[in-house]
Structure 1
């Protein structure tokens, strides 16, 4: 079994994050399935005080925010590390406006994915 990829603690300390058992509860999945989502890049985690946590903004009613897995895949394929992806998703962009994760949550996934693809060049 491969290790679960996780970033260092790179996000703002006041950003709401959830430990894996709570993520599993919110997604109504067993914890080993949440761990598999992390391994597969469907979700991203960071390690805070030795504990794996997932940003609460990655979860929506009924599952993972639509468009997040595809955006993560595009950025990974472009050579971005987990830390860089997390920073990008939570960095303000006045042209969106807001952050890419807010845009994904607001059903503007096509624009976020287009911008992620443009970062590859």
Structure 2
């Protein structure tokens, strides 16, 4: 969970403790979600943070995120690479993969992740 090189500083994040509050879970559960591939976290200025775009308005992890992370991890991608990819513009979507996930287009994002990973 190092600073992710190539990830924009403009990406809004929350410390793990605040993510835990939003999810109504203990901090240890958020760390478990990261280990299990349901969320990704990284260090920013020494604090472990999670991008706010990974959380929906309903206070839950956005649909399709964990499946996308799993596909990419299975394909050999490391978490920093997955984070960068999720926030890179993709003209074929359009927008970023994470924006497409938030818009409910998780199947299309997962297809792109599968194509990259295999």
TM-score (norm 1): 0.92
Which contiguous aligned blocks of 4+ residues in structure 1 show a shift greater than 4 angstroms?
none
1:84 aligns with 2:78: no
Distance 1:112 1:96, change over 3 A: same
For residue 53 of structure 2, what is the aligned residue in structure 1?
57
CA contact (8 A) 2:77 2:117 kept: no
For residue 32 of structure 2, what is the aligned residue in structure 1?
36
For residue 112 of structure 1, what is the aligned residue in structure 2?
109
What is the Cα deviation at residue 7 of structure 1? Answer: 4.2
For residue 4 of structure 2, what is the aligned residue in structure 1?
9
CA contact (8 A) 1:7 1:82 kept: no
For residue 22 of structure 1, what is the aligned residue in structure 2?
18
Q: Classify the secondary structure of the residue corresponding to 2:77.
A: coil
The alignment's C-alpha RMSD in Å is 1.0
CA contact (8 A) 1:7 1:45 kept: no
Q: Show structure 1 runs of 5+ residues with no match.
A: 1-5
TM-score (norm 2): 0.94
Aligned residues: 116
Q: Show structure 2 runs of 5+ residues with no match.
A: none
Q: Classify the secondary structure of the residue corresponding to 1:103.
A: helix
Q: Classify the secondary structure of the residue corresponding to 1:64.
A: coil
The 2-side partners of 1:49 and 1:8 are apart by 8
